[in-house]
Amino acid sequence: MPARAPHRPTRAPSHAAGLALCLALPISLAACQATDSQGRPKPSREPRGPVTSATPARIVPVIYQSLDTDSNGLTDTLTVSAYLFPQGHDSAIPVWSEGQFVFALSSPASDHTPIATWTFPADQVLRHRDTDLFGPTHLFSLDIRAAAGTDRLASQRADLSAHFIRSDGVTISSSGGISVQVGP
């Protein structure tokens, strides 16, 4: 009788996995073809692939990991993907673009006072390009210790926001912040 693989406990889906499902569902549904009452295919709008020359109009940041790299029990590094989307009618798939990224971690308790800020100039952005399940993205590692001088912050839920300054000077900002626990 063949040996069975050892049982490994499963983990609950992460916040990023839930967000991934929310982002993938509209794209998957767009690919489905509808039929009329007699089973004939209805004309449908086929989903388009990435439009590489499209100008981004929206930025969606996603925190994939909150890390404690120095094992002191405090979050000190955030792994963030930033997706740039053109106008809805151009492409439902994110695109890469030329420009500058700025991320800000702020305290909602004190009128959004900045805790840490990270700026990635246009000449560095090319090195942060990546591709994942959803398509083109920009992947960043945000070191809280380097930006704030410490990871020993007051215990709070801080908000991470993202901004993309296009090469034409237009700034695109994320809608709202992503909540992340900092401090003990």
Q: How many CB atoms lie within 10 A of CB 4?
A: 6
Per-residue pLDDT band for 131 (boundaries 50, 70, 90) equals confident
Pairwise pLDDT comparison (31 vs 125), residue with the higher score: 125
Task: Report the pLDDT value the prediction gives residue 41, as an integer from 0 to 100.
Answer: 54
pLDDT at 179: 86
- pLDDT tens for 93-127 read 888 888 999 999 888 766 767 888 999 999 998 89
pLDDT digits (tens, 9 = 90+) for 51-65: 556 788 888 898 888
Q: State the pLDDT at residue 5.
A: 45
Q: What is the average per-residue pLDDT within 163-177?
A: 88
Using alpha carbons, select from 7, 178, 184, 165 the residue that is nearest to residue 78.
Answer: 178
Domain ranges of the chain: 59-182
Question: What mean pLDDT comes out for the span 12-21?
Answer: 44
pTM beyond 0.75, yes or no:
no
**What's the topology of domain 59-182?**
Immunoglobulin-like (2.60.40)
The band of 25, judged by pLDDT with boundaries at 50, 70 and 90, is: very low
The predicted pLDDT at position 115 comes to: 85
Binning pLDDT at 50, 70 and 90, where does residue 91 land?
low
Q: Is 153 exposed, middle or buried (0-12, 13-18, 19+ CB in 10 A)?
A: buried
As beta bridge partners, residue 118 has 103
Stronger pLDDT, 93 or 81, i.e. the higher one = 81
Find all residues with CB under 8 Å of 101, minimum gap 6, and list them: 82, 118, 119, 120, 125, 128, 138, 140, 162, 163, 164, 165
